[in-house]
Structure 1
Amino acid sequence: MMNSDEVLDLYDIAVLLNYERNTTEPRLRHTKLREVAFPGTQSKTVALSSPIDQGWNNNASTWIVLDQQQTSDPDAPDLPTEFLPANKRQDSALSNEQLETLFHQARNHDGCYQAISLLQIFFALFSEDTKLRVRHAPNGKQPGMSYTTTVSRRVIVEESFRDPKFTTAICVLPQGAMFVSGHQPQLLHAVVGFSPLDSDTVQSFFDLSSMQFGDIGRGPGPKGKQLFALDTPEEFALRFSMLAKGTDPSKSNRTLAISGTPVDDWLWEVAMRTKKRWMNRATEKWCGHCGAPGAKSKCAGCGEAYYCGKDHQKLAWGFHKGYCGKP
């Protein structure tokens, strides 16, 4: 464990955790996008008589059809830029941002408890009094609500969302494995809440699996373009008003920890890689948007943030502009 002088930054840690988890996610490892059917269109690959006839909600449905493929390097990370097969990239109508959304939407599918277990494992690598800096979306070019707390001042916030407005269906070929969420009357979801040192009231709602909801899951704040959500209480309520018609208060719950998941051995590996990269941050830079290592494009304003290139710098700017050059 690290000593209590260490200060973790929740935003930076989230960027790294997202990269290390989603690029090695075992369930959909080395799959390629065959087809996507956005709401209002029909899948050409997967035929159903009618989702409504099967008892699904009559809401906006997105179908993501994937092909399981062999790879010459099974240890190589999966990347959004390689989500399409090479022979389809040039003629694809999907933008890089859309591909990124679909990649993370699939790999975060129904992943809230997995994400919470990962965060528990990562924080267990540090002492309970390790300081944690929490930074929210900026107000224009000024920093948003920010405070320093400790990694132990957290709680798991569980909600049951009534009448989801979106269904995501993922089909993996050739085995025909199907993963579906949002098709039932209620959708269980959990996030991690943080509170300042001088208050027991949750001021920050952190959702490392928010991209399972597509672009609505981007954050921090309602206008963020990052690959996770970090919301104030007001932003949290707004985000989920876009996802469902309401909540079931009788099923709301707050706990201090979960018992773990069947993939915790893999999550330990993710946490250890993330810790190593965090500890080497002075010499080994990563992209401030996607978390990829080896970022070379440096922010001209502060000289401290790095990116894969202009596209990722632009996506990260909505958050970074409030903290560029500011302590």
Structure 2
Amino acid sequence: MMSRAAEITAIVVSFDSAAVLPACLAALAAEGVPAIVVDNASGDGSAEIAERAGATVLRNARNEGYGRGNNRGVRAATTPFVLIVNPDLEIAPGAVAALLAAAEAYPDAAALAPRIIEPSGRVFLQPRSLLSPPHLNLPGRMVLPEGDACLPFLSGACLLLRREVFLGLGGFDPAIFLFYEDDDLCRRLRDADHALVHVDAASARHGRGRSTAPSPQRRFTARWHLAWSEYHVRRAYGLPLPGLGPIATNLLKAAGYGLIAKRDKMMAHAGSAAGALAARRGQSALARQGLDTAPEQGGEAS
């Protein structure tokens, strides 16, 4: 296949993603798409796997998080388009060509996404979002678009972006370590009068949640950031903050699961409560990760 190196660069942020990274990079290579892998200080050889696969590797000295990692990768790219790709996602044959064709057909679209297919075969589509207009957040079953469609939200698992637009808006919010980065980006793109397009002719298979091997501590951390980031974006857009009820519920559930030795669930609910409490106290997500005094990294590739 003809190389698309002059048009598009894939950005893959890895953190202990050795189990899924080879298939992700192989699918991109089959489409002629060069990849920049931003490795968030993995301990499982992810960076070395990416190098052997022919990717350009940017090594972070510590885990910078999803959005900050992608920001570094996009800044290092030089192509007009970048393709944000989760390491547990495999782009389908012909999908990149379909996305680029749609970008040419819809010049007002700054972000375009393929149909994302989960292991069960279900198409993941989430046009509703905390940051979508209320009239678009209607309850009920979501109907898959028949053909291309403008949506208020696109998943950051696989996202084609016009690089200059992305950088002009400041990239992903660097205050967020994990979660709601794509919601926030889509909201800012819409507010700047850019369209978000779901491209029916493009597809990708997504492992969803398999980018990093699970553990109770990682569940705690993920749920901590999920709760914290919700508070952060609510404050950013003037939305009402959650009450104390969910915190109390999560604490009770954590205690209950602890009593019956369900450690994974205990840690998940404890993380949700801790993240919400930290957000209410004004603690930053970056401070929790030891990144509060560290600017987003640039640096050399290997």
- TM-score between the two structures when normalised by the length of structure 2: 0.33
Name the one with the larger strand percent.
1
Higher helix share: 2
